[in-house]
Every structure is written in structure tokens, then in C-alpha cells.
Amino acid sequence: MKKYFKLFSLALCAVFACLAFTGCSSPTTTPEPPVTYIGSKTPTETKAVGDIVFTDGSASPYTEELTNEQKAAAIAVIFYVGDENDTLGAKTLGVGLITERTNCMGLQWCLSDAVAYDSWDYAKNMDDGKANTDEIAGLSDYGDGTKYPAFKFCRDYTAKGFTTNWYLPAYNELKMLYASLTEVGNALNALDIENPYVDNLYAYTYFSSTRKYTANKYLNIAIAFYFADEEYLHHQTSSKDEYNYVCAIHTF
């Protein structure tokens, strides 16, 4: 018995000596599989105008052939990528996908009995719709958003992976969307989605989150954007309780 115990002890010592002094490999854990993304660009890679964003934050250019899985996972199209010297600063902005034009039509900026209706004290920002949207949402009568349908639409907008922080774009953000409309339209076409901003016969007017600064008798006016070819028609004014189209945007 002592003989076998001695042999076992010697064998055990040999194993430890091998691990400690001869470079024998110790047991290792199974390596984690590489992360795979829906799109060809990882969530942290710089995006480009026209890129399609997916639920996991990854993206693909619209020029790539999309699978049915990618089409089902698409949540936005990038329309602005800027740095600190650009109009809107260092942002990457995407517009939510409006799969049916009727989903975003016929919405008022606010109702006629809302605090912000006869006032130019709110939503003054021309470049930052998030600031405007947050300001309106903080008003005493915002509540569930019923009195501010356009803002409610955007704040309630949701997409898998990005369920918060959608907002009604400021006027200059809508201008950037128009400037990228060719790429956005091509991306929507790649996703088999009807372009909700223009069709063969008509352009459509969208509310911005920016109120119109003008004479006192026009306190109830907001700025809208008309997606037409004629530049002088882009800047529109609309009574806050009139009905226009609305889109929701998000930073990426």
C-alpha cells in the first residue's frame, strides 16, 4: 500500500512540476464567440447619410443587398452626419421609418386651448428639436400629451432597441432631411417602404418643433417644412392647431 501511495505522490509531483516549470498548458475556458451584428457596420462605426440603422444599433449602406431579416430589423435612415463646424454640430441623426403615410398625417402642433398655442415663449430653437420637445413636454398642461399631438407622436414613437428619446425635429433639422432626401428615398426604396415625403404628384408639409417668431397677432403660428423642389416654398407657416404630417428623429 505504501508503494502505491509513493508512486501516486511522485506522479502528482510530476504534474505540478510540469505545470510550474516546463511550460505545460493549464486548462483554459472556452473562448466567447465573436459578436455578430445585423448590419455590416458595428454600432460604434461612423455612419453615413443613407445608412439604414437596425435594432442592435448596427447599420448598412442602402447600396448593399438587404436580407429579409435586415429589412424586418430596420428602424431608421441616417440623414445627417456632421461635426462641430456644420449647421447642426457634431451629431448623427436618423429619421424613424414611417411605413404608412396615414400613420403620421393629420396631427396638430398643439390644440387651441394649450398653454403654448398663443405664445412664442416656448420651442424657439431652430436647430435642436430635442430641446424643443423636452420643453413642451415639461409644460404644466402636457400631461399625457393629448394637447400636443405632434410632440406626443414623436415622444411615443418606439423601435426595438431604441424605445426612448425620439423627438419632433427643429426646422433646420427638417432642412437637413430635405437635403438628404435622395439618399433617404433610396434607402426607403431598398426597404420596400413608400416615400412619405414626396410622391410622383405631391410633396408633403411636415411640422417642425419650432414655433414662428413673428408679430403678436400670429403667436399661434409654427414653422413647417414643405418637401417641394421649389426652394422658396420650403419654409411654411401653419397655425399650431392645423393638421400636418409629422416625423420622429433620433440621435445615433
pLDDT of 228 reads 87
Query: Could you count the other beta carbons within 10 Å of the beta carbon of residue 207?
Result: 32
Q: Could you list the beta-strand ranges (E) of the chain.
A: 52-54, 59-60, 74-81, 92-96, 107-108, 205-211, 221-226, 235-239, 243-244, 249-251
The percentage of the chain sitting over the pLDDT mark of 70, rounded to a whole number, equals: 84
Neighbours of 13 (CB within 10 A): 10
- Confidence category of residue 25, pLDDT binned at 50, 70, 90: low
* CB-based contact 177:248 (threshold 8 Å): no
pLDDT at position 233 is 74
Q: Which residue has the cell 414643405?
A: 226
Alpha helix locations (H) across the chain? 2-21, 68-73, 129-137, 149-156, 171-179, 181-190
Question: Tens of pLDDT along 86-127?
Answer: 989 999 999 999 876 666 778 999 999 999 999 888 999 999
Beta bridge partners of 238: 222
Average pLDDT of the chain to the nearest whole number = 87
**Statement: residue 16 has pLDDT above 50:** no
Chain CA centroid to CA 106, Å: 22
